[in-house]
A and B are shown apart, each in its own frame.
Chain A
Amino acid sequence: MSKTTNQKAWILVVPVVVLVAFNALIPLMTVVNYSVQETFGNNVFFWEGVKWFEEVLNSSRFHASFMRQLAFTGTILLIEIPLGIAVALSMPKKGPWVSVCLVLMALPLLIPWNVVGAMWNIFALPDIGLLGRMINGLGINYNFTQQPAAAWATTILMDVWHWTSLVVLLSYAGLCAIPDAYYQAAKIDGASAWAVFWRIQLPKMKRVLTIAILLRFMDSFMIYTEPFVLTGGGPGNTTTFLSIDLVKIALGQFDLGPAAAMSLIYFFIVLLMCWVFYTLMMRDEEQ
């Protein structure tokens, strides 16, 4: 659709800009401020330049939590996106069951994140939890509070439980938007189910899937509350992702300088990846 140039449109945007700027720019400047200074308390600050940035970028602790974060985000994307598409493809197209499916599937999305963590904690505990009992009953020694592998598996399963529905809802919406004529044409041509998926459904879902990947990437990269409540970042540091590490440094040890520098690097990484996604998406849309 062609848009007309009209500078007065700014008036309509001003309230949004004011509100978001108040919430974004002032705190961001505070973080920038901390990131270049040293403090010994009493509000006395000393200029430190880029010292904290060098320290964070060279610290093995940051590298470790960054790698854990990448591994976690990569794994959940690889599971949630295909699973979400598969569930959406096999959902009924119309009838009373559509509402039932949508309501039940959306339920995990609306549970507060710490409740999700607490719920999975009592669900997976080896002594009182259903999942823990079941796995141990199969003869597998499972205790996520002590075994790093079990802690990882539980965290990933929790995230799949929590967020796959978002991918399902988006994919389903994309599928519903495909006109019936496409399917009829495919039927006349005698196309296989696989060909229909590959040539019609997947290309038509491209837009919603980009959004799904973008949202899942951003949110999983910032994940804090759920793993914190479930495992507390442990056992040891094995499930300490970037946000958990950041909060430990900032509010636990009160090392404001390194924490602020880490915040900015962290924010910058998320921003960079999202910018790449966003430009790709917009380029597609203009074609």
Chain B
Amino acid sequence: MNIKKWLLPTIYILFLMLPIYWLLNMSFKTTNEILGTFSLYPQNFTLANYEKIFTDPTWYNGYLNSITYVVMNTIISLSVALPAAYAFSRYRFLGDKHLFFWLLTNRMAPPAVFALPFFQLYSAVELFDTHIAVALAHCLFNIPLAVWILEGFMSGVPKELDETAFLDGYSFPRFFIRIFIPTIVAGIGVAAFFTFMYSWVELLLAKTLTSVAAKPIAATMTRTASTAGYELGLLAAAGTLTIVPGAFVIYFVRNYIAKGFAMGRV
């Protein structure tokens, strides 16, 4: 019984790890070795691909650009979504249900639909090729998602908490920052995880809105692929490094995720 239970998750995780292992394997090979010989592990182990990425500014700037706009987006999304989610979870107001659905519809908009208009809009306001442009554009789908998740968590907090605090003479901002936010920190963790994730993995809009100064790492990879022939080893190393920030984020929020998912909506 016990072995049977372990079998499925183990096979599933192995299946998840295989392509990642293959990428890692290739990142320690030279392009010649990749094309010339087929082997399950690197025969001439080399760190040259990683060395190139960490010393060439066109490469490492890609990572810095991506991380900059992702962090900006997470901060913007969460700080505007927190009060809005509170309003949706605590009060009835004119048009609340319609507004909530309208917000969600933006999570449903295919980015391909918006690529060209976004380019024109952000060029018109002279934000093209800046980090903030990508951070703001990603708000389109991340704010609705953050509101949705946080609203779920906040609805689980009893209203008596608010009422007692107001009776004790707390003002709204002080109550919100001192008492309410610490209570739903698990929900904020989950919301941060999802906003980070969707901003980090999205490429279509990020690529459309940047050219040089704020170019994301993923775009650096595709452009190198087309100009320098296929430098497979280098691409594999760059790809491997894009997994690292995500792994860090998961590691830090892992406890919130297990706990948090259970209470929240997503």
* Residues in A lying within 8 Å of B, measured CB to CB: 1, 3-10, 12-13, 15-17, 19-20, 22-24, 26-28, 30-31, 83, 86-87, 90-91, 98-99, 101-115, 118-120, 122-123, 127-131, 133, 161, 164-165, 168-170, 172-174, 176-177, 208, 211, 215, 218, 221-222, 224-225, 229, 242-243, 246-247, 250-251, 256, 259, 263-264, 266-267, 270-271, 274-275, 278
Most buried by B among A23, A106, A208: A23
* Residues in B lying within 8 Å of A, measured CB to CB: 5-9, 12-13, 15-20, 22-23, 26, 34-35, 38, 40, 76, 80-81, 83-84, 86-88, 90-94, 96, 99, 101, 103-118, 120-121, 136-137, 139-140, 143-144, 147, 155, 158-159, 197, 200-204, 217-218, 221-222, 232, 235-236, 239, 242-243, 245-247, 249-251, 254-255, 257-258, 260-266
Bound together, the chains give a CA A267 to CA B222 distance in angstroms of 28
With A90-B5, A107-B243, A161-B19 known to touch, is A10 a contact of B112 (CB < 8 Å)? no
Residue of chain A at shortest CB distance from B261: A173
The reply to whether B246 and A107 contact each other, CB–CB distance below 8 Å, is yes
Bound together, the chains give a CA A118 to CA B92 distance in angstroms of 48
The reply to whether A176 and B93 contact each other, CB–CB distance below 8 Å, is no
The reply to whether A133 and B38 contact each other, CB–CB distance below 8 Å, is yes
The reply to whether B249 and A274 contact each other, CB–CB distance below 8 Å, is no
Return chain A residues, CB-CB under 8 Å to B246: 107, 109-111
* Contact among A99, A109, A222 for B110, CB-based, below 8 A: A222
The reply to whether B200 and A31 contact each other, CB–CB distance below 8 Å, is no
With A19-B143, A110-B247, A270-B110 known to touch, is A90 a contact of B9 (CB < 8 Å)? yes
Bound together, the chains give a CA A5 to CA B66 distance in angstroms of 42
The reply to whether B38 and A128 contact each other, CB–CB distance below 8 Å, is yes
The reply to whether B254 and A103 contact each other, CB–CB distance below 8 Å, is yes
Return chain B residues, CB-CB under 8 Å to A13: 83-84, 87-88, 93, 99
Bound together, the chains give a CA A194 to CA B137 distance in angstroms of 47
Return chain B residues, CB-CB under 8 Å to A275: 101
Residue of chain A at shortest CB distance from B80: A15
Give 10 closest A-B pairs by Cβ, nearest first.
A110-B246, A173-B261, A27-B117, A9-B91, A12-B87, A222-B110, A30-B117, A9-B87, A12-B83, A243-B112
Task: List 20 A–B pairs whose Cβ atoms lie within 8 Å, in order of A's numbering.
Answer: A6-B91, A16-B147, A19-B80, A19-B136, A27-B114, A30-B116, A87-B8, A103-B251, A113-B218, A114-B203, A115-B221, A122-B23, A131-B19, A170-B261, A173-B264, A222-B110, A251-B116, A259-B116, A274-B104, A274-B105
Return chain B residues, CB-CB under 8 Å to A90: 5-9
Return chain B residues, CB-CB under 8 Å to A111: 201, 242-243, 246
The reply to whether A1 and B261 contact each other, CB–CB distance below 8 Å, is no
Which secondary structure dominates chain B's binding surface?
helix
The reply to whether A169 and B257 contact each other, CB–CB distance below 8 Å, is yes
Most buried by B among A15, A108, A112, A215: A112
* Contact among B13, B111, B144, B155 for A224, CB-based, below 8 A: B111
The reply to whether B110 and A221 contact each other, CB–CB distance below 8 Å, is yes
The reply to whether A118 and B239 contact each other, CB–CB distance below 8 Å, is yes
With A4-B91, A270-B110 known to touch, is A20 a contact of B103 (CB < 8 Å)? yes
Distance from A247 Cβ to chain B, minimum over Cβ atoms (Å): 5
Residue of chain B at shortest CB distance from A164: B12
Bound together, the chains give a CA A20 to CA B113 distance in angstroms of 16
Bound together, the chains give a CA A104 to CA B203 distance in angstroms of 23
The reply to whether B203 and A247 contact each other, CB–CB distance below 8 Å, is no
Return chain B residues, CB-CB under 8 Å to A8: 93
Distance from A104 Cβ to chain B, minimum over Cβ atoms (Å): 5
* Contact among B12, B111, B258 for A98, CB-based, below 8 A: B258
The reply to whether B236 and A20 contact each other, CB–CB distance below 8 Å, is no
Distance from B197 Cβ to chain A, minimum over Cβ atoms (Å): 5
Residue of chain B at shortest CB distance from A166: B266
Residue of chain A at shortest CB distance from B266: A211
Distance from B78 Cβ to chain A, minimum over Cβ atoms (Å): 11
Return chain A residues, CB-CB under 8 Å to B261: 169-170, 172-173, 176, 208
The reply to whether B90 and A27 contact each other, CB–CB distance below 8 Å, is no
Bound together, the chains give a CA A175 to CA B201 distance in angstroms of 28
Contacts A107-B250, A177-B262 supplied; 10 other A-B pairs, CB < 8 Å: A4-B91, A6-B92, A12-B87, A23-B136, A108-B20, A112-B242, A114-B203, A115-B239, A211-B265, A221-B110
Return chain B residues, CB-CB under 8 Å to A229: 222
* Contact among B13, B143, B159 for A16, CB-based, below 8 A: B143
Residue of chain B at shortest CB distance from A215: B266
Distance from B214 Cβ to chain A, minimum over Cβ atoms (Å): 16
Distance from B98 Cβ to chain A, minimum over Cβ atoms (Å): 12
* Contact among B86, B139, B221, B243 for A20, CB-based, below 8 A: B139
Distance from A42 Cβ to chain B, minimum over Cβ atoms (Å): 16
Return chain B residues, CB-CB under 8 Å to A130: 18, 22, 40
Distance from A106 Cβ to chain B, minimum over Cβ atoms (Å): 5
Distance from A2 Cβ to chain B, minimum over Cβ atoms (Å): 8
Return chain A residues, CB-CB under 8 Å to B250: 102-103, 106-107, 110
